[in-house]
């Protein structure tokens, strides 16, 4: 079985591709290596994947293209390069769609990027799955879909009709689009609502990376909502373990689904949605304290108001995920932050 991983040079896509290769699964990666953050970090991730491919014997092939490029996406589903040559992994039997225009705040500045990548591009993924008999589509949603909901912990059984950013709205749209294809074409599809993912090789636009960079440079850190944020910080290894277990267990129709009282979490179609979070909401100030302990530096803090599109608190109910996969994310924040700091110091030599 080969797997198509879109966003393979991204944070989660890199770690997932690494685990797939380590267990002997060939991977076709699709990524446009855009400049939303430093492409050099993405290139370093890809270099690691190529090294691993050589050492473990499972092939990794990259197609450098955007989801919006329908011809390139079609080539990936055929198991071909952009020039039409067969790729060693062959035609993918399963797909993990992680490519997207990320970031809540950037969606206020450049909404068209989200419409193109997250809506048009995702439509191309769905069409590829439909026409190439894909056995299972797993796609990234986000905890941001819960929007203005203040009933914690967030459950898949709750309504997600009140997004507060275009990014969140695009992720909810992905869930609706995937469900439609599951209903019309019998495509097994599973949406995963990730909760604040962090860890080694993380995104430079995320708080942990920004805080570490500033603190090592002796600069103040920006702490939004006057430090009253709460997040369900989820370590990358827990995210990937959950991803793999979901990938190996395609979505099925829920025989107990009641159309007179529809449950947003399940369906008569082979479509499921799961939270992936640590189920341990952590105040932002405690997260910063964990980073201070790992770095041995006390941060100078600049307290600021909450930003448009942000929500003050998130917390994941992962009961459904554990029931489906037998796994529950559980890495303590202090341990995960320390691992990130160790990677950061080694990678950047600081």
Assess whether 36 carries a catalytic annotation: no
> Checking DSSP bridges between strand 230-231 and strand 282-283, what pairing results, if any?
antiparallel
What phi, psi does 300 have (nearest 5°)? -85, 120
Alpha-carbon distances, residue 148 vs 18, 89, 152, 174, 259 (angstroms): 35, 43, 11, 19, 26
Q: Where does residue 163 fall: left (phi above 0), alpha (psi -120 to 50 degrees), or beta otherwise? A: beta
What token pair was written down for 331? 């890495």
167, 181, 287, 344: the catalytic one is: 167
What DSSP string describes 83-142? TSPBPTT-S-SEEEE------TTHHHH-HHHHIIIIIIHHHHHHHHHHHTT-SEEEEEEE
Q: State the residue for tokens 């990259």.
A: 62
Task: Give the dihedral sign, CA 8/12/18/24.
Answer: negative
Cα–Cα distance, 122 to 337 (Å, whole number): 32
Kind of pairing, strands 136-142 and 282-283?
unpaired
- Residues annotated as catalytic are 167
């Amino acid at each position: 079985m080969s797997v198509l991983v879109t966003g393979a040079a991204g944070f989660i896509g890199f770690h997932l591709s690494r685990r797939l290769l380590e267990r002997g699964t060939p991977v076709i990666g699709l990524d446009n290596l855009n400049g939303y953050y430093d492409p050099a970090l993405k290139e370093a991730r890809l270099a690691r994947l190529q090294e691993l491919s050589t050492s473990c014997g499972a092939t990794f092939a990259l197609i450098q293209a955007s989801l919006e490029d329908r011809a390139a996406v079609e080539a990936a589903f055929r198991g071909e390069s952009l020039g039409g040559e067969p790729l060693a992994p062959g035609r993918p039997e399963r797909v993990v769609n992680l490519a997207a225009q990320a970031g809540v705040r950037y969606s206020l500045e450049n909404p068209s990027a989200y419409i193109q990548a997250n809506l048009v591009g995702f439509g191309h993924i769905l069409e590829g799955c439909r026409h190439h008999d894909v056995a299972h589509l797993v796609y990234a949603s986000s905890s941001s879909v819960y929007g203005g909901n203040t009933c914690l912990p967030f459950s898949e059984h709750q309504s997600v009709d009140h997004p507060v950013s275009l990014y969140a709205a695009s992720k909810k749209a992905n869930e609706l689009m995937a469900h439609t294809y599951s209903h019309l074409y019998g495509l097994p599809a599973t949406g995963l609502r990730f909760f604040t993912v962090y860890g080694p090789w993380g995104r430079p636009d995320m708080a942990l990376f920004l805080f570490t960079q500033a603190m090592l440079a002796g600069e103040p850190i920006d702490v939004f909502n006057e430090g009253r944020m709460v997040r369900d910080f989820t370590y990358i290894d827990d995210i990937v373990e959950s991803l793999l277990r979901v990938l190996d267990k395609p979505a099925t129709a829920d025989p107990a689904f009641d159309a007179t009282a529809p449950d947003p979490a399940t369906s008569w179609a082979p479509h499921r949605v799961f939270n992936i979070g640590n189920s341990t909401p952590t105040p932002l100030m405690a997260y910063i304290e964990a980073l201070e302990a790992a770095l041995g530096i006390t941060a100078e803090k600049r307290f600021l108001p909450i930003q448009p599109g942000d929500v003050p608190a998130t917390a994941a109910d992962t009961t459904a995920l554990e029931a489906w996969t037998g796994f529950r994310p559980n890495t303590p924040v202090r341990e995960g932050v320390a691992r990130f700091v160790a990677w950061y110091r080694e990678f950047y030599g600081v």
